[in-house]
Structure 1
Amino acid sequence: MARRIKISSGVLNVRLHPHPEGIYGEFIEAIYQLRRPVRIRGDRYAMLSLLSRTEANDGIYTGLITTFTKIDTTEPWFDTDNLKEASEKDISRISIPDSLHPNATSFHFLFDARRHRFYVQTYSKGRTLSVRSAQRMLGGLAADLAITRRFNEAVIDIVQSKAGLEAVFALTVIKRVTVTLTKPNADVFDDDFDENIEGFLEELHSKKLTLIVEAEPRQSITPNEGLRRVSRSALEHGSVKTEGRDEQGATQRSTDDYPEDLHDKYDPDAVSETHAFRQLTGR
């Protein structure tokens, strides 16, 4: 039996305002057309290197994110043979085209334009791309002047897990709960809670609402259904933080530390990595 290979994905919630029909498909096409690398950490960059439109009529866009090392050739070079900084003569022999970058790795992505969810592969054959790095990449592309002029500001949040919310509420003593809600899209919900929040923020010309619940002296907050309902919305539209005590003493927890993690294993002799990722997303 072939060794089964790990595959995993994180999820980003991309929100535009206003958001008329078709706007998210136009958005992913526009940021792909930039053909621009974005620094995600240190000398590591990422870019959308492939976009497939074959399922665009169904609101599905697939493709690749490629990460690579971008060398700053203006910085000093080191000669490991002579154990000293390379000379100008040595450096003059180096010829690397500006468009070539080493240590490249590609990861699959799927963008569901109807639900404005961006699924990104976070593990591939021992290489990783954190969902936060994918958020930095998309955020950097969305902040391009050509994009903001056309789509206004894009809000890109990491979707957090329900298990993470339970962990946040599992403190022995909860003295404060802070729920942050950014302006959501109401069209993906079954009831009017998020629609009311969006209307409230719109009327105030605001993009964020922060709800703070504090315990009475010598009491602990007991999260009821109302607080949990607001908090569940924040898993896709913000974050939830608790402050209090556990067995170790004073502490705090945040759903930011519990991103949604889709993971599985697949047999490479039976299915391709592309197909395994698609199954993982459920799209």
Structure 2
Amino acid sequence: MPRPSKIEVSAVNLRIPADKPRDYVGLIEQLFEARIAIKVYGDSFIAITQFHKESGLGVFSKYSEIDIDGSWFDLEDFGPAEQGKVDEVSIPDNLRPNLSAFYFELSEEAHVLAFETYSESKGLSARSVEKYFGAALRHSSIVSKFGRVEADIVKSYGEVERIIGLPNLKELKIVIRRPNPDDISGDLAARIEDRLSEQNGEEYVEITRSKDDKGLKPNDRSKKLAIVGAENGEVTGKSIVNGVQVDHTTKEKPEKVVDTYNKDEVDTRTMFRKLAGRLVKAIKQRRATT
């Protein structure tokens, strides 16, 4: 019996400013057509290499940029390669090594892009995707048409709730970059966007501290605000554990769905779309409560 294949899916929340056409299909299509590749860490780059606007399905490609002119290692001699052997190396200028591909799917209604973070025994970190969008969305061709588009990984709702419920919580900090409230979002996100727009602001920060031995007891508003922060920024907290201050953050804790499947019974794309749909549905449900 074949070993089950594992797949993980996370999501990035995209927000086009209110004074620009909120055409998310057009946004991803332009990123694809512009062939924008972004260095995300080390020698790794990410680019959108496929996108079908009718289905919203596309592909992130991750590849490496290597220094061909640098020094080479000879495994046979187990030392620096001789120049004669190096001179025999010929790699076409348009080719790059270590390619891996990951599906993504755009939900226009929710302005959320779900993507594979683990599939086919290969990984694409949520942080790398966030870095890709952070840089690609500042490309002049994107800014001229869509303005300053925000992109944040949807953080773990469970981690948000854990931070809010910490015993002896001394500080709760909620950072919200301009949200994009729509017909499936709550009133709180709309009020935050209006407040930022009125003052030409880009980021809303709310910090609550307690010096009392009992710690903070976040109210319903703070809990809802933290859920908005999970999608549009981040939530951090400080608590006292055994007399020592401990920091907590959602920064490296993306919301994700994980499952396994038998590749003899279902293909990877079908399984991805199933999980992507599940994740987007969960995000919509959370928004409905804020």
Deviation at 1:68, TM superposition (A): 1.6
For 1:86 and 1:65, the matched residues in 2 are separated by 34
For 2:234 and 2:9, the matched residues in 1 are separated by 20
For 1:42 and 1:248, the matched residues in 2 are separated by 39
Secondary structure at the aligned position of 1:257 is classed as coil
Q: What amino acid is the match of 1:266?
A: Y
Aligned partner (choices 261, 264, 268) of residue 266 of structure 1: 261
Q: Is the 8 A contact 1:176 1:213 kept in 2?
A: yes
For 2:196 and 2:116, the matched residues in 1 are separated by 33
2:247 aligned with 1:252: yes
Alignment-derived partner of residue 121 in structure 1: 116
Alignment-derived partner of residue 12 in structure 1: 12
Q: TM-score, normalised by structure 2?
A: 0.89
For 1:134 and 1:115, the matched residues in 2 are separated by 18
For 2:254 and 2:185, the matched residues in 1 are separated by 23
Deviation at 1:37, TM superposition (A): 2.2
Q: Is the 8 A contact 1:161 1:258 kept in 2?
A: yes
Alignment-derived partner of residue 52 in structure 2: 52
Alignment-derived partner of residue 73 in structure 1: 68
For 2:18 and 2:238, the matched residues in 1 are separated by 35
Q: What amino acid is the match of 1:91?
A: V
Q: Is the 8 A contact 1:171 1:246 kept in 2?
A: no
Q: What amino acid is the match of 2:187?
A: D
The equivalences for 1:129-168 within 5 A come to: 129-168=124-163
Aligned partner (choices 88, 94, 97) of residue 93 of structure 1: 88
Q: Deviations over 1:134-175 (max 9, x none)?
A: 111222221212212221122110101221112212432111
Deviation at 1:261, TM superposition (A): 1.0
Secondary structure at the aligned position of 1:136 is classed as helix
Q: What amino acid is the match of 1:233?
A: V
Question: RMSD of aligned C-alpha atoms?
Answer: 1.9
Alignment-derived partner of residue 237 in structure 1: 232
Secondary structure at the aligned position of 2:114 is classed as strand
The equivalences for 1:15-26 within 5 A come to: 15-18=15-18, 23-26=23-26
For 1:22 and 1:180, the matched residues in 2 are separated by 23
Alignment-derived partner of residue 169 in structure 1: 164
For 2:16 and 2:53, the matched residues in 1 are separated by 20
Alignment-derived partner of residue 288 in structure 2: none
Equivalences, count: 278
Change (3 A) 1:248 1:100: farther
Change (3 A) 1:220 1:111: same
Change (3 A) 1:187 1:259: same
Change (3 A) 1:101 1:246: same
Q: What amino acid is the match of 1:276?
A: M
Alignment-derived partner of residue 182 in structure 1: 177
Secondary structure at the aligned position of 1:187 is classed as coil
For 2:179 and 2:109, the matched residues in 1 are separated by 14
Which is further off, 227-236 or 136-145? Answer: 136-145
For 1:12 and 1:138, the matched residues in 2 are separated by 9
Q: Is the 8 A contact 2:100 2:122 kept in 1?
A: yes
Alignment-derived partner of residue 58 in structure 1: none
Change (3 A) 1:93 1:260: same
Q: TM-score, normalised by structure 1?
A: 0.91
Q: Deviations over 1:155-202 (max 9, x none)?
A: 110101221112212432111111111111111445422111111101
Deviation at 1:98, TM superposition (A): 1.7
Structure 2 gap ranges (5+): 281-290
Q: What amino acid is the match of 1:18?
A: A
Q: Is the 8 A contact 2:168 2:213 kept in 1?
A: no
For 1:190 and 1:41, the matched residues in 2 are separated by 34
Q: Deviations over 1:99-148 (max 9, x none)?
A: 21122111111011221101110111211111111111222221212212
Deviation at 1:249, TM superposition (A): 2.6
Q: Deviations over 1:20-66 (max 9, x none)?
A: 555211100100012232212111112111112333xxxxx111111
For 1:151 and 1:21, the matched residues in 2 are separated by 7
Deviation at 1:83, TM superposition (A): 4.7
For 2:253 and 2:22, the matched residues in 1 are separated by 31
Deviation at 1:238, TM superposition (A): 1.2
For 1:145 and 1:276, the matched residues in 2 are separated by 36
Q: Is the 8 A contact 2:115 2:276 kept in 1?
A: no
% identical equivalent positions? 26
Q: What amino acid is the match of 1:43?
A: D
